[in-house]
Amino acid sequence: MMHGYLYLSIILFCLGIVGVVARRNVFTVFMSIELMLNAANLVFVTFARVHENIDGHVLAMMVMAVAAAEAALALAVVILLHKHKSKLDTNVFSLLKG
Amino acid sequence: MFEHVLSVIIFLPILAGLILLASPASRTIARFTGLVISLATLVLSLELYLRFEATGHLEFVEHISWIKSLGVSYSLGVDGISLFILMAGSVLLPLVYFVFGTKEKGYYANLLIVQGAMAGAICAADMILFYIFWEVMLLPVFFMLGLYGGPRRLPATLKITLYTIAGSLLMLAAIVYLGVSYHAQFNEWSFAMEKMAHLNLTGRVAAVAFFAFMIAFAVKIPLFPFHTWLPDAYTEAPAATTFVLSAVMAKIGVYGVIRFVVPVFDLEFARFAILLAYLGVIGMMYCGLAAITQKDFKRMLAFSSASHMGVIALGVFCMNIQALTGSIYQIVAHATSTGVLFLFAGILEERTNTRTIDDLGGIAAKAPVFALYFAIAMLASVGLPGTSGFIGEFMIVLGAIKFNTAIGVLAGTTLIIGVCYMLWMFQRVFFEKTSSRSEHFKELSFTEGLVFLPVILLIIVMGIYPHPFLSKITPSTALQFAPPASVVAQMPAANAQNYGLTIEQK
Amino acid sequence: MFADGLFIVFATLAVLGAVGLVLFRHPMNGAMSFVVTLISLAGLYALLSAKLIFALQLIVYAGAIMSLIVFIIMFLNIQPDDLPQEEMKLFYVLVSAIVVCPIGLLLAKIVKSLPVHSTAIMGNKFGGVKEVGLLLFRDWLIPFEIVSILLLVSLVGAVILAGKRGTTK
Amino acid sequence: MEQCANYLGLIPLFPLLGAVFIGLLHVFTCKRTALPEKVYGILACVGPVLAFVLALKVFVALKGLAPEARFLSYKAFTWFSVGELHIDMGFLADPLSCLMLLFVTFIGSLIHIYSIGYMGGDKNYGKFFAYMNLFLGSMLVLVLGNGPVVMFVGWEGVGLCSYLLISFYSEDRSNVLAGNKAFIVNRVGDLGFVLGMSFLFWGIGAHGFDYLSLKANVHHLEPAVALTVCLLLFVGATGKSAQIPLYVWLPDAMAGPTPVSALIHAATMVTAGVYMVARFSFLYAGVELAGNIVAWIGILTALLAAIFGMFQEDIKKVLAYSTVSQLGYMFAGVGVAAYSAGIFHVFTHAFFKALLFLGAGSVIYALHHEQNIWKMGGLKKKMPKTYITMVIGALALAGCPPFSGFFSKDEILYSALATGHFGIWAIGVLVAGMTAYYTFRMIFVVFHGEPRDHHAYEHATDAPSVMTVPLIILAIGALCAGLLNLPGIFGGDQVVSHWLAPSLTEHHPHGGVFLEILAIAASVVAFVIGIKIAYTKFGHGAQEPFFSGFADFAYHKFYVDELYDRIIVQPYKAIGSSIWKVIEPNVTDAPVKGVSRLYMVLGTAFKVFQVGYVRVYALYMVLGLGIMSLLLSQSLN
């Protein structure tokens, strides 16, 4: 049964990557990242159960805290960008072009 | 108190320089501080010189463990080889504050920092420490050249910086290699220089490490063909920087070869010495030839300096005590002659607003004292007997002949090549008709004359009575060629000099 | 068996939600489908006997974070015209799926090599507030405090960033 | 005796101190009120005169010793000592150096006195005497040095003074160029000297690098090394003593003031090469080939310079070429191992050539710095003292018996004949005739006939006594010096040769009376023929001739200067400028520039990947991870 959880987390994680790479909508990209974090959380919790060691739960909590912090900051940035460009397209922001 | 004199000599100028940089001091205060600090350093160095016992080993040793897990330590010490380079720096640097009185605050502060850093590189007895000072040394030069240099200073700054950094990174890699192999062979971490000599290095990696060191030092010396940063940097740098570069910093490259390469990579060194010696000779001739057609006297002096450095480097590569001692003696002689010539060139440039040889003329008639000083420094730089330049040059040629006849003969041509461009320049700047630019050339003031006097006298004294100086050098150079170190260590210093190489019949 | 049935249901919902997130054009739709994923994940946590995490997942993730996101989406009042024109979306998704394949396969391979363990539901002594809380404040105190500082910093950062007057061009 | 040895250090010290003192005095006063010339004059003469007095004392002391133990040595201090190289700053007086010492200090003092008059009115009066004293000090170091390295100090020192004094009138570019030429050409010779010393040192120097130790160990030297050393040292000598191929600087050196030409470029410095070869006689005596090369180069130089001398129009150039020619004789002498004859010629030559130069100086002084002999003439009546002394000098130079030059020259030619060098002897005799010709050509044109430039002629008069007295003293020397070494055939007993014997390694040839008479007769005949031709052509006044053909070629000195310029100087400059204009930027700097260009190219190439979209960067990351995963999953199997 353990394998099921792990395979699921792999699928979610890969979907998250696909979302980040394939989509241009800022929100979708952001939520795809959250998806990857959740996939990781699932692994933590699974292994915590498997080894019967609740350190994994603590780590999952930490990840949630980080996700919350990230959400706050990322959304602030999104608001800022929207103010500047009124666009939600990641392709608009290409200052890194060499 | 005196056991920490080296640390004081190193850190007093560095701290003073940093404080100056941070403080809003005016340029007068900056100059005065620089003067006082450098004079204090000079006094300490003189005291050090007098107390130096010429045992041939490191003296005034300071040793504090620094990074224990890697065996890195803060250890300092001077022997007969480093003492003279240290002294050259300490004696010559105060001149700058006397001669150039109207520069920016940063100019003096950087000068102080570079003085301390150079002293550190010279005294360091640990390779990591040496590397740190070696890099710190470059920073003030970078700023002085980039901020206060001539019109084409930026490309020159970029070139010298990239060149030297490329060299030092190679050296860092080689130092790490040495540390790791020391750990592998003796199961103990250490970067102390004297321990590295016990290393048994063979194979291709050793040769690569050898060349990594050599390239780092060759860039600094500069040895042909790594000299191409030199003409630009020396020409564009403010006079004091050129002076520092030529009088002391280039010598630290040679010193590095003597200190690192010769004892540690003895096999590789013996294998490639002939190649390096040819590079030295070629550099000497090449730069000497290039010097003769220069139109800019600072550039001409730059090439002449590179030419002389070729000879000095050659002395190290010849692997016998005469040539090595000659090299070290020549280091001091070159610092006092060419270094002072660069200062004079700075004075000339400041007072006539030109660096073109053809714009000048007849200065000897306008400023006899200046001409006399210049002539003495110039004659020392062409190696006239009775000046400091001769002793070193003679011993280098003598040693080179023993090492390899062809190299010896080629090295001898420095006698001719040097005199050609120097006389040609001297003729057009000091003799002939007075030109419009040199019409109002101001003679050296009384203070300036008095300030240069000790150096000029030193040039002559070192030429006429070199024995006291040499007797401090020879024990250390003899050690370089001594068979097992323990045997020599037990002997009194006076006898150490007899243990050179055995006489080979030609 | 009941647990297995639940797992399959939650897993399917989670994957569907995630696929929806990747494919929906409007972020609001994506967010809604993502909430589905989060809730099903909460269910899975419950199946794994992680009672506290189950609760937190619902409260913090599905509750707080998602509502924040949805709130912002609504706050920005996004019109369909504001959305990026993604004509080649499916193609990109396909390409990135192919690119991701090796990673997934590697991970799958690793998982496959693991020994099988039971994940049957455990009793009271596991994953409750008390156990996790004790552990958190005894062994993980410093990381916990650091995380709180992190949250504080991000809070301040968010205020500063979002509060900036837009120097629009 | 010990006391006397201590004087040795003082002998060079006096003039050197004088130089420093006068030099400082000059430097510090020349921009303000100049000191009266008398102060400088007196100060300048103190050093040389004191040195001369001490030299006499040394001579007396040496004379008191047994012939085989005739040397005094004095070690001032250890000069430098590194490994097996140990060199003392020491001085050695033996018969050879004592002889040199005596005439160098004597003639030096006289010329200093003469210069007080000659240099009068020059604004760099003090500088001149500082240089002169410095020169004399260096020359004394050269002569007294107890080993080759100490000798080299003097050797270079005199070269420096020569440079400084040639370019004394430094406002004129050509003078400075002449000075540069002298210094650089001398340096070429010095290179030979240094290399020779080095080889000698690695041969036998480890047991002491002074003459006495070298002499004691010379038999350990391998013949090949000995030959190399001899030839290299001789290269040094050709530079200093103006022999082929390095003679070119000496005629140009006449740009200096005339007393300088007399002291440095005739009497003392240029004979240093001969002295050096004689000093190393223990070395040269063992290597016959080296001796032959020295002799042949010497005699060919003598011939070449005599040819040039016959066509010169500058009075000092005539004398300069005659000096080169006489130096050639000296080398021929030392080359055929007749060291004492060579040194004796050095000795007599110093008197008559200094005399001739000072006489010429008086003429030039009287005519307000006119040096072209075709603008002089008939000066006999106006300048009788100068005329008489100069004729004495000319007779000595031309080798008229019983003047000094005759004996010394004859001694050399006889030695060449007796050792079987017929070629050298024959050329020597020919050169003797030519010498007589050009010397008297000069005398006749300058002093006889009608004045060619009446304005200058009217004002010409004998110089003040401060200048004529030295002339007269030198004339007496030129007249009598030869008698010191009167050969047996004239009833003498060769005092000088016997005096020098302990210092030199030579075997006196015994050619018999016939050869001696043959040599004397040939010399006398050559002299008579030479003087006769000169008399018929110039004795009654003659106009400036127009040179063509060979004469023109010889007048232009066979275009040797131009040749050297073409094959050495110009290529040298061309290489120099091509190095920094072509090679430096395109070859040695090319790798550096190449590296920077490489970075530019790579940067431009990689710029393509920097599209600026974050998701593309993420894609790169995923791609990288994917590749790593592929590799890892392979290794997992």
Give the pLDDT confidence of B11-40 residue by residue, as tens digits: 999 999 999 989 888 888 888 889 999 999
Range with the poorest average pLDDT among B87-101, C42-56, D33-47, D239-253:
D33-47
Among A17, A91, A98, select the one facing D622 at the smallest CB separation.
A17
The helix (run of H) or strand (run of E) holding residue D279 is: helix D272-279
C17's tokens: 């939600």
Beta-bridge mates of residue B67: B72
Among D622, D623, D632, select the one facing C106 at the smallest CB separation.
D632
Report chain A residues whose CB lies below 8 A from the CB of D613: 90-91, 94
Distances (CA, A) of B483 to B263, B371, B500, C122: 12, 49, 9, 78
Give the minimum alpha-carbon distance from A92 to chain D in angstroms, rounded to a whole number. Answer: 8
Is residue A25 a contact partner of residue C84, using CB atoms and an 8 Å limit?
yes
Report chain D residues whose CB lies below 8 A from the CB of B464: 89
For the cut 90, the answer to whether the pLDDT of residue C104 exceeds it is yes
Among A21, A93, A98, select the one facing D607 at the smallest CB separation.
A98
Report chain A residues whose CB lies below 8 A from the CB of C113: none
Q: Where are the beta strands (DSSP E) in B176-292?
A: none
Mean pLDDT on D300-309: 91
Mean pLDDT on B68-96: 88
Question: At B389, which amino acid appears?
Answer: G
Are chains D and C in touch, 3+ Cβ pairs below 8 Å? yes
**Chain D stretch 30-59, residues whose beta carbon is closer than 8 A to a beta carbon of chain B:** 30-31
DSSP secondary structure letters along C78-112: --GGGS---TTHHHHHHHHHHHHHHHHHHHHHHHH
- Assembly ipTM: 0.78
Q: Exposed, middle or buried, D29 (CB in 10 Å: 0-12/13-18/19+)?
A: middle
Distances (CA, A) of D538 to B273, D388, D434: 67, 18, 15
Report chain D residues whose CB lies below 8 A from the CB of C113: 636
Q: Exposed, middle or buried, D32 (CB in 10 Å: 0-12/13-18/19+)?
A: exposed
Please count the other Cβ atoms lying within 10 Å of the Cβ belonging to residue D33.
Answer: 7
B136's tokens: 């710190």
The CA-to-CA distance between both ends of chain A, in Å, stands at: 49
- Does residue D618 belong to the interface with chain A, where contact is any CB pair within 8 Å? yes
Residues 6+ apart with CB under 8 A from B348: B297, B360, B363, B429
Cα D257 to chain centroid distance, Å, stands at 16
C154's tokens: 């991000």
pLDDT digits (tens, 9 = 90+) for D8-32: 888 888 999 999 988 888 888 877 7
Q: State the Cα–Cα distance between residues A65 and D29, nearest whole angstrom.
A: 89
Report chain C residues whose CB lies below 8 A from the CB of A46: 48, 119
Q: State the Cα–Cα distance between residues B86 and B47, nearest whole angstrom.
A: 13
Residue A98 lies in a domain: no
* CB spacing of B326 vs D190 below 8 angstroms: no
**Chain D stretch 185-204, residues whose beta carbon is closer than 8 A to a beta carbon of chain B:** 187-188, 190-191, 194-195, 197-199, 201-203
For the cut 80, the answer to whether the pLDDT of residue B233 exceeds it is yes
pLDDT digits (tens, 9 = 90+) for B274-320: 999 999 999 999 998 888 888 888 889 999 999 999 999 999 998 88
pLDDT band at B485 (very low <50, low <70, confident <90, very high): very low
- Does residue C131 belong to the interface with chain A, where contact is any CB pair within 8 Å? yes
Is residue B357 a contact partner of residue B297, using CB atoms and an 8 Å limit?
yes
Helix axis angle for C27-47 and A2-22, nearest 10°, is 160
Q: State the Cα–Cα distance between residues B176 and B212, nearest whole angstrom.
A: 11
Give the minimum alpha-carbon distance from D598 to chain A in angstroms, rounded to a whole number. Answer: 18
Beta-bridge mates of residue B59: B78
For the cut 50, the answer to whether the pLDDT of residue D336 exceeds it is yes
Are chains D and B in touch, 3+ Cβ pairs below 8 Å? yes
**Chain C stretch 120-139, residues whose beta carbon is closer than 8 A to a beta carbon of chain D:** none
Q: State the Cα–Cα distance between residues D154 and B108, nearest whole angstrom.
A: 43
CATH number for the domain harbouring residue C90: 1.20.120.1200
* CB spacing of C99 vs A21 below 8 angstroms: yes
pLDDT at D445: 87
Mean pLDDT on B412-437: 86
- What are the two backbone dihedrals, phi and then psi, of residue B143, each rounded to the nearest 5 degrees? -70, -45
For the cut 60, the answer to whether the pLDDT of residue C167 exceeds it is no
* CB spacing of D619 vs A91 below 8 angstroms: no
- Does residue C103 belong to the interface with chain D, where contact is any CB pair within 8 Å? yes
- Does residue C78 belong to the interface with chain A, where contact is any CB pair within 8 Å? yes
Average pLDDT, chain B: 86
Residue C165 lies in a domain: no
- Does residue C100 belong to the interface with chain D, where contact is any CB pair within 8 Å? yes
Share of chain D above pLDDT 70, in %: 98
pLDDT at B489: 39
The three-class DSSP label of residue B356 is: strand
Name the one residue in this structure whose structure tokens are 């390694």: D505
Residue C100 lies in a domain: yes
Are chains B and A in touch, 3+ Cβ pairs below 8 Å? no
* CB spacing of B384 vs D160 below 8 angstroms: yes
Quick one: three-class SS letters along B160-177?
HHHHHHHHHHHHHHHHHH
pLDDT band at B202 (very low <50, low <70, confident <90, very high): confident
- Does residue A32 belong to the interface with chain C, where contact is any CB pair within 8 Å? yes
Helix axis angle for B414-430 and B368-381, nearest 10°, is 170
Helix-then-strand count for chain C, H and E = 7, 0
Is residue B383 a contact partner of residue B256, using CB atoms and an 8 Å limit?
no
Give the residue among B85, B75, B77, B45 at the shortest CA–CA distance from B59: B77
CATH number for the domain harbouring residue A18: 1.10.287.3510
Residue C26 lies in a domain: yes
- What are the two backbone dihedrals, phi and then psi, of residue D79, each rounded to the nearest 5 degrees? -80, -65
Range with the poorest average pLDDT among B448-462, D368-382, D400-414:
D368-382
Domain enclosing residue A42, as ranges = 2-89
Domain enclosing residue C33, as ranges = 2-125
- What are the two backbone dihedrals, phi and then psi, of residue B491, each rounded to the nearest 5 degrees? -85, 150
Provide the greatest CA pair distance for chain A. 51
Mean pLDDT on D463-490: 82
B49's tokens: 């010189």
Among B415, B431, B470, select the one facing D187 at the smallest CB separation.
B415
Mean pLDDT on D502-529: 82
Q: What angle do CA B152, B156, B158 make, to 5 degrees?
A: 125
Q: State the Cα–Cα distance between residues B346 and B102, nearest whole angstrom.
A: 13
Report chain D residues whose CB lies below 8 A from the CB of A90: 613-615
Residue A59 lies in a domain: yes
Residue C145 lies in a domain: no
Is residue C37 a contact partner of residue C18, using CB atoms and an 8 Å limit?
yes
Q: State the Cα–Cα distance between residues B183 and B189, nearest whole angstrom.
A: 5
* CB spacing of D614 vs A93 below 8 angstroms: yes
Split into its structural domains, chain A has a count of 1
**Chain A stretch 65-94, residues whose beta carbon is closer than 8 A to a beta carbon of chain C:** 65-73, 75-80, 82-84, 86-91
Among D610, D615, D618, select the one facing A97 at the smallest CB separation.
D610
Mean pLDDT on B424-433: 86
Among A6, A71, A77, select the one facing C68 at the smallest CB separation.
A71
For the cut 90, the answer to whether the pLDDT of residue D252 exceeds it is no
- Does residue A63 belong to the interface with chain C, where contact is any CB pair within 8 Å? no
Q: State the Cα–Cα distance between residues B429 and B423, nearest whole angstrom.
A: 10
Residues 6+ apart with CB under 8 A from A96: D610, D612, D614, D617
pLDDT band at C58 (very low <50, low <70, confident <90, very high): very high
For the cut 50, the answer to whether the pLDDT of residue B506 exceeds it is no
Q: State the Cα–Cα distance between residues B303 and B341, nearest whole angstrom.
A: 13
Q: State the Cα–Cα distance between residues B311 and B282, nearest whole angstrom.
A: 9
For the cut 80, the answer to whether the pLDDT of residue D507 exceeds it is no
Is residue D332 a contact partner of residue D430, using CB atoms and an 8 Å limit?
no
Residue A26 lies in a domain: yes
- Does residue D616 belong to the interface with chain C, where contact is any CB pair within 8 Å? no
* CB spacing of D201 vs B501 below 8 angstroms: no
